[in-house]
Structure 1
Amino acid sequence: MKKWVIIIGYLITILGWWGCARQAVEGRDSTQNPLTVASAHDAEKLKDEEQRLLVTPEKAALHPDYQILENISVPFAPEYRIGPGDVVEVIYNFRYDQTPDAYRLEVQDKISVIFPFHPQFSSTVVVRTDGRISLPLVGDVQAATLTPADLAKNLNRVYSAYLIDPQITVSLEDFNVKIKELKRSITTAPRGQSKVAPVAPDGRIALPLLGNLVAEGFTLRQFEDMVNREYSKQVRNLNVTLVLLEIHHSKFYILGEVGRPGAYEMTSRLNLLDALAMAEGFRKSGDLKEILVIRNDGLERPMAFKVNLSKMLKDQSYYADLKIRPADIIYVPKTGLDHINDVLEKIFTKGIYTFLPFQSVFSVNYDIRK
């Protein structure tokens, strides 16, 4: 029994020395003292300090985290990037303004090819997906991208080998077929004809005529430009505007010695202290000197770094620069002392405790009989 008492005494002594040494180091780490407000004079000093640190337009011009809008300094916020679960409204604006350019034939346009002196050759045809039409005697002829006048000129030249002065004319019977199909596939909304398109888990959006397009990772402006480029290859006189209706917030994760570990949504730009506050702060057993952050957002491989938040808070460092990114994993470990406590608990409370009670009682009874 005396042996165990001596061992426990040594452990307590070592832990005491370790705690004193840690406090001494922490005392040396604190290089600045925060301003204490205890009077009206102190409040004025605080106001002056805030004014000195205010980010003016002149300072913002040299600060990468700020921008100047309307001669006002505002924090620079990166553009939001589309992700799975977001809902985008695609508004279709069809332009019907008169233009000096002649109409050019498109796939699925219906045209009449008229032979005034040889009506037996006249026909009504549809421009095929390969851009051609089929006519008597000459077979397939290119039609898409040509104006009706240009097509008539080409046909007159080709048919001159068979007919004398054919004088062929081309007239439009049905055109802008793709626009009509597009209108049938979209709904009518107060802002015009539009389509509500959710972003699928694979990051794609399904759009009429275009099929599935990758949207994840693009800003709204970038994706809008891409959609307009793709539609311009098939439909003329169309302009598309995108509106972000719903945002599926990205998540980050906090584990370890915090009040409420778990997954949290990034509803705004957060720094490390904001994230810990969302998790109801850190426990007394948490080691703020060894906070681990694991990051993999947009990186070719995960990276990890440690943050000494305790020192940053004491030195009044600019911890706001430690921005949290989507999918970050924040781990607050236990302090060394709490690790030792866990070991002692496992050894003495859950381990040796199961044997000691009987032996100690036996020893006491033996001593009494002595």
Structure 2
Amino acid sequence: MALGGLLGACATEPDLEAPYDPPPPTPASAAYQLGMGDQLVFEYCRRQYPVDEYCLGIGDLLDIQVEEHPELNEQTRIAPDGTISFHRLGQIQAVDRKIEDLQSEMESRLAEFYPNLRDSVPKVVVFLIEGDQEAEKFVEMLLRNPNGASREFAISPDGHVSLPGIGAVRISGLSLVEAEDLLNERLQRHLPTLELVLNSQKLAQNVFSVLGEVLRPGVYDLTSETTLVEALAKAGGETEYAALDSVVVMSRMPDGVIEASLYDLEEAFEHGHSLGLVQIRPRDTVLILRTGIGNVNEAIDHFIRRNLPINVGVGYNAVYRLND
């Protein structure tokens, strides 16, 4: 009885005339940005490709039919020089042309070489029997590998992966979708009937890299708290050409900005400063510059543009902070 009275007292009648105020949308979480050490699986596969968009290639087998003149019908394969030979028409350039374009030229040349056809030029129809021989050879090459059409690679310290049929491409700093789009754009420049499906195998969140004038440059696991000096030690220490007064730690901030902090470890060691105790964060890049560099800011900028990931379409922004 008391519970019913309490519920009745708290209940309110809804105002059906009031405008509906929807709840705020749930903020979308930022897409994961790929980085050094991430293990990715790349799967090559066929894709649907419209025949009318296909550009003919060497080795393609064509079935050429001339309406109402079956005596002219024949199959021919595009030769290594990119041409086909068709009766009295001689050599016709076929590579890198669309089928419709080839048909039009053949119809024009039929009227030129067969005077009896000038009054009513017959329609030429070209059927693609075997196409994209370059892709066939490429797939055969892939299948010789025990992994078949799949490949597994880790993103290198400079943000690149090197893939068959594509070469080296920098994908660090991109999302999985952005990386897949970029790689397919590169692949389909010369293998348009193939596509690449990208999946994450292991995302290396807790790693850092040490590059430049160290004995063992590379990617290292960040399994526990690691100071700048400890990071340098993990990379085998500095080379004889290292400029310890110009040690750079680069971090990508959540907004995509690359923050580059410059440390003078030489002075820190001499005067007992605590700079060497600076903590390395996940996916930081430590760069040991070479002695003799005049403009440190310019060197940092040059390194970032050449080696560190810059998001496509986001723009470049770097912050440099010189530590006192």
| Band of TM-score, shorter chain | 0.3 to 0.5
Q: Structure 1-normalised TM-score?
A: 0.43
* Greater RCO (Cα-Cα under 8 Å, separation 6 or more): 2
Instruction: Name the one with the larger helix percent.
Output: 1
Give the structure with higher Rg (CA).
1
